[in-house]
Amino acid sequence: MNANTSAWNQRHLLHALREFEQFYNAHRSHQGIANARPLHPLPEPITDPDETASLDIHRTDRLGGLLHEYQHAA
């Protein structure tokens, strides 16, 4: 499902809504509250400039690329 596709049926629509709800509550950063996710505590700030220079970020697409999750690689 992408931005130009509508839901095929009720099952497809409910799947898309569940995906978005999970993304919104668990992964999406919330700019208005210091990038905290609603169901998680605030992350510890990175204060060492050397740490930010070596961040390895991985992107995962959801809902056919409509939503993007970003995570620090281990």
The answer to whether 71 and 8 have CB atoms below 8 angstroms apart is no
Question: What does the block give as tokens for 57?
Answer: 């970020």
pLDDT in tens, 14-55: 998 998 888 877 766 655 566 666 666 776 777 887 776 777
**pTM attached to this predicted model:** 0.45
pLDDT score at 22: 83
pLDDT score at 8: 83
In angstroms, the Cα distances linking 28 to 9, 49, 52, 53 are 26, 24, 20, 23
pLDDT score at 38: 65
- Contacts of range 3-12, beta carbons closer than 8 Å, 24 or more positions apart: 3/66, 5/64
